Amino acid sequence: MSLADAETEVTAALDELWYVVCELVVTVQEDRPAGSDLAVVDDLVERVSELQAGVNEARELAQRATAVTLPQQLDPIAAALARADTYFWRELRAHTPVAHLRAAARPRGAEWQAWRRSVEEGMSRCEAPLDKAGSAVRHAWHEVGELVSLGVGRPLSAPARDLHDTHPSSESESPRRSS
Q: Per-residue confidence at 65, pLDDT binned at 50, 70, 90?
A: very high
In CATH, what number does 3-152 get? 1.20.1440
pLDDT at residue 158 in the model? 42
pLDDT at residue 175 in the model? 47
Cβ atoms of 117 and 61 closer than 8 Å: no
- Global pTM value: 0.80
pLDDT higher than threshold 50 for residue 161:
no
Q: Would you kindly state where each structural domain of the chain is located, as residue ranges?
A: 3-152
pLDDT at residue 151 in the model? 76
The CA distance from 49 to 30, in Å, is 13
Buried b (16+ CB within 10 A) or exposed e, 148-178: eeeeeeeeeeeeeeeeeeeeeeeeeeeeeee
Cβ atoms of 21 and 126 closer than 8 Å: yes
Interval 80-116: pLDDT, tens: 999 999 999 999 999 999 999 999 999 998 999 999 9
